[in-house]
Chains A and B, each alone.
Chain A
Amino acid sequence: MTDAATPLADITESDPVDEDDAPALAGRLSNWSAALVPGLIGLSAAVGSLVLGIGSPAEPGPGLWPLIISVVIIAGSVLLMLKGPRAHGAEKFTGSSRPVLLGVLTIIGFIVALPTVGFEIPTLLLCFAWLYFLGRERLRLSIITSLVTTVLFYALFIMVLRVPLPRLF
């Protein structure tokens, strides 16, 4: 069953893949920011909590609990910085991070378009873009797969599950 005569054979033929699987580790800057960003979140939450009012231990105000958590987060962030940037194993952003950004942009497009033009066209386009541009699949395969996906989704969500999804047809 593993020979190439299966219908999926042309799908499994793949581009050469880098043997180097482990992603490169990040540099100093991103490790510092991994420690700094939570600290900033903690700080702003702490300020917000104080504004809300912390009350007293017997009558806790709305801000007491968030304040406690914020202090824990800030402490964690400080500890991370003290441990130094190397100990954390964050990964580097490289050229291969670009598809992620493009992927996020297509999803934003999908969310914006869905209420106005229905789900069919955005579904088709997102699927095609991910297959052809981000996945570097072949053109024919990309077109067929995205068409089939859209039709199946229509059948599943509209005809079987009857969910009130904005739609064109």
Chain B
Amino acid sequence: MDFFGPVLDGFVVVFEPMNLLYCLLGVLIGMLIGVLPGLGPVATIAILLPITYSIEPVAAIIMLAGIFYGAQYGGTITSVLLRLPGEASSVVTVLDGYEMAKKGRAGTALGISAVGSFIGGTVAILGLTFLAPVVASVALRFGPPEYAVLALLGILLVTTIGNGDVIKSVIAAGIGLLLASVGRDVFTSSERFTMGSLELADGLDFVPIAMGVFGLGEILYMMEQNYRAPRKAIAVGNAWPSRRDLRDASGAIGRGSVLGFVLGILPGGGATLASLVSYSAEKRRSKHPERFGHGAIEGVAGPETANNAAATSSFIPLLTLGIPANATMAIIFGALLLHGIVPGPALIADHPELFWGVINSMYIGNILLLILSIPLVGLFVKILRVRPTILAPITVLITLIGVYTVRNSTFDMALVLVFGVVGYLMRKFAFEPGPLVLAFVLGSLLETAMRQSLRLFHGDILGFATRPISGGLLALLVVVIVVVPLSKRWRARRTQRTADRVSEDSLRR
């Protein structure tokens, strides 16, 4: 069969020992950083970019993907045992997960999360396997106007769905686009904003920007916050959920899988949004909603399934359209570019081993997660107690030395520092750093597509609206501008309520 041939070849790629090793490594690192206080998956993947440079592309992306979904699960462990969500997508898990832990069912909560994550992930991979080629084949017919509108749509969605103030996010995205325009102009080869610097003539490199804004910026910002004293973790007890638990949670897991998959494809909040929606859906359709917040197993199973499914399906826009849906995908985009691979509709045809290798590695990664998560919980709890003050200098040094090794350039180290300070100040002044990096990644694609389109249309801007596909996307763009602020207002209120409950719970402790 034509369709399944490359899929099966992908498994051959995955089962190469080195790739298996990198998959395992990625999942382990991911779980570890999900557990460790402070650095999130985005910062970690950014910091590890230089290391992936020295290994071959398939293995590199397999590892980065492993870190990404491994971290989703690692965050769960701290949510359940310590009421400390390791990252945003595990925030709602705290509500019922910690309550379960207090009732001596911590193991069950972690076990059901592992099972749910596995199922959600697997459903999403299956969806990815069938949907991605379809999207890619449609996208093959896209011309510059379609790409221009699509890139714009991607940036806009990320700025509007993200957590921060919309105006500030738009400004951040604008700065990212400006940074992308530094260097020699492709069309006219005049130098832009280089201030006569030879190093800037080729434009700014993605790696130091991502490492600075996400990596160093995060570390500097963390230094200033009060380092929290490690809390005492709750003992785990038996880990595997009973048959009854599985039956209680099965509906939530099923709904979470589908919900997560669909929401993950949309650019923006992905996993976080999916877990929030899943929680409220489970609560709404429950016959005993009052159980939620007091250790209802559906309240853990649903969101945990949904966030993993969403994390997986967010690969679809990246691998088929070349449009990263969130900050993590932007970094994986950068990693692919580092290896000279341009993600887009041609990826499936041009690099089937990479495409199917990475997708199929997720099956293995999810199985590894399921196997590793429970026995390693004890170890992770110990690691949790290492203080951020000790981790900070080590991560800074890895960042600096790492970026140096990419091009043996002291200039790049200085760039990391500059963008680290920028990232710190952005956090300080409540600007989201995500839109900046995402816009930077898409900047040159957007500008090139825009200018090619304008030439195509002989300067007539209306050309964007009259072509069917770009016109349709443009209509979608307008919808986003009108609808998203409204739904965001609604969601902000709801998140606020959820957050209030978490903090109320903390106070009551």
Interface residues of A (CB under 8 A from B): 1-2, 6, 8, 11-12, 14, 16-18, 20-21, 23, 26, 30, 34, 38, 41-42, 45, 48, 52-53, 56-66, 69-70, 72-73, 76-77, 79-80, 83, 87-91, 93, 96-97, 99-100, 103-104, 107-108, 110-111, 114-115, 119, 123, 126-127, 129-131, 134-137, 141, 145-146, 149, 153, 157, 161, 163-165
* Beta-carbon contact of A57 and B190 below 8 Å: no
**Shortest distance between the CB of B492 and any CB in chain A (Å):** 13
* Beta-carbon contact of A100 and B167 below 8 Å: no
Residues on B with C-beta less than 8 A from A38 are 171, 174-175
**Shortest distance between the CB of A126 and any CB in chain B (Å):** 6
What is the size category of the interface that chain B forms with chain A?
35 or more
* Beta-carbon contact of B389 and A77 below 8 Å: no
- Asked if B285 is at the interface of the complex by the 8 Å CB criterion, the answer is no
A100-B220, A127-B397 are contacts. A107–B417 as well, Cβ < 8 Å?
yes
* Beta-carbon contact of A114 and B404 below 8 Å: yes
Q: How far is the CA of A157 from the CA of B405 in the complex (A)?
A: 9
3 closest A-B pairs by CB? A135-B389, A58-B459, A57-B459
Residues on B with C-beta less than 8 A from A42 are 174
Provide the B163-174 mask, 1 if CB < 8 A to any CB of A, else 0: 001011011001
* Beta-carbon contact of A17 and B226 below 8 Å: yes
Which of B325-333, B408-416, B471-479 lines the interface with chain A? B408-416
**Shortest distance between the CB of B381 and any CB in chain A (Å):** 6
* Beta-carbon contact of A65 and B167 below 8 Å: no
* Beta-carbon contact of A145 and B390 below 8 Å: yes
**Shortest distance between the CB of B209 and any CB in chain A (Å):** 16
Of the candidates A34, A52, A72, A79, the one whose C-beta lies within 8 Å of that of B429 is A34
Interface of A is mostly: helix
Q: Which of B54, B174, B175, B455: most chain A CB closer than 10 A?
A: B174
Residues on B with C-beta less than 8 A from A119 are 401
* Beta-carbon contact of A48 and B193 below 8 Å: yes
Residues on B with C-beta less than 8 A from A65 are 181, 447, 450-451
Of the candidates A6, A62, A73, A88, the one whose C-beta lies within 8 Å of that of B188 is A62
- Asked if B376 is at the interface of the complex by the 8 Å CB criterion, the answer is no
Residues on A with C-beta less than 8 A from B233 are 2
* Beta-carbon contact of A8 and B429 below 8 Å: no
Of the candidates A59, A89, A137, the one whose C-beta lies within 8 Å of that of B389 is A137
A57-B454, A91-B430, A100-B224 are contacts. A153–B165 as well, Cβ < 8 Å?
no
**Shortest distance between the CB of A125 and any CB in chain B (Å):** 10
A48-B193, A88-B429, A89-B430 are contacts. A165–B405 as well, Cβ < 8 Å?
yes
Question: Restricting to B136-188, which residues have a CB under 8 Å from any CB of A?
Answer: 165, 167-168, 170-171, 174-175, 177-178, 181, 185, 187-188
Q: How far is the CA of A163 from the CA of B460 in the complex (A)?
A: 52
Residues on A with C-beta less than 8 A from B175 are 38, 41, 73
Residues on B with C-beta less than 8 A from A164 are 405, 408
Q: How far is the CA of A80 from the CA of B429 in the complex (A)?
A: 12
* Beta-carbon contact of A111 and B400 below 8 Å: yes
**Shortest distance between the CB of B253 and any CB in chain A (Å):** 29
Residues on B with C-beta less than 8 A from A163 are 54, 405
* Beta-carbon contact of B171 and A77 below 8 Å: yes
Interface of B is mostly: helix
- Asked if B235 is at the interface of the complex by the 8 Å CB criterion, the answer is yes
A11-B385, A23-B225, A76-B174 are contacts. A66–B459 as well, Cβ < 8 Å?
no
* Beta-carbon contact of A104 and B421 below 8 Å: yes
Q: How far is the CA of A2 from the CA of B167 in the complex (A)?
A: 46
**Shortest distance between the CB of A20 and any CB in chain B (Å):** 8
Q: How far is the CA of A164 from the CA of B429 in the complex (A)?
A: 38
List 4 extra interface pairs beyond A90-B429, A141-B390, A165-B405, CB under 8 A.
A11-B387, A38-B171, A57-B454, A91-B428
Q: How far is the CA of A130 from the CA of B381 in the complex (A)?
A: 25
Residues on A with C-beta less than 8 A from B460 are 57
* Beta-carbon contact of B181 and A104 below 8 Å: no
A52-B190, A66-B181 are contacts. A131–B390 as well, Cβ < 8 Å?
yes
- Asked if B244 is at the interface of the complex by the 8 Å CB criterion, the answer is no
Residues on A with C-beta less than 8 A from B410 are 111, 114-115
Q: Which of B181, B381, B397: most chain A CB closer than 10 A?
A: B397
* Beta-carbon contact of A134 and B223 below 8 Å: yes
Q: How far is the CA of A1 from the CA of B375 in the complex (A)?
A: 13
Q: Which of A64, A79, A103, A136: most chain B CB closer than 10 A?
A: A103
Residues on B with C-beta less than 8 A from A165 are 401, 404-405
Of the candidates A20, A88, A153, the one whose C-beta lies within 8 Å of that of B430 is A88
Q: How far is the CA of A135 from the CA of B167 in the complex (A)?
A: 36
Closest residue of chain A to B400 (Cβ to Cβ) is: A110
* Beta-carbon contact of B394 and A127 below 8 Å: yes
Provide the B244-262 mask, 1 if CB < 8 A to any CB of A, else 0: 0000000000000000000
Question: Restricting to B434-471, which residues have a CB under 8 Å from any CB of A?
Answer: 447, 450-451, 454-455, 458-461
Q: How far is the CA of A48 from the CA of B387 in the complex (A)?
A: 46
Q: How far is the CA of A155 from the CA of B277 in the complex (A)?
A: 47
Q: How far is the CA of A145 from the CA of B400 in the complex (A)?
A: 18
Residues on B with C-beta less than 8 A from A129 are 393
Residues on B with C-beta less than 8 A from A80 are 167-168, 171
Question: Restricting to B376-390, which residues have a CB under 8 Å from any CB of A?
Answer: 378, 381-382, 385-387, 389-390
Residues on A with C-beta less than 8 A from B51 are 161
Residues on A with C-beta less than 8 A from B429 are 26, 30, 34, 88, 90-91
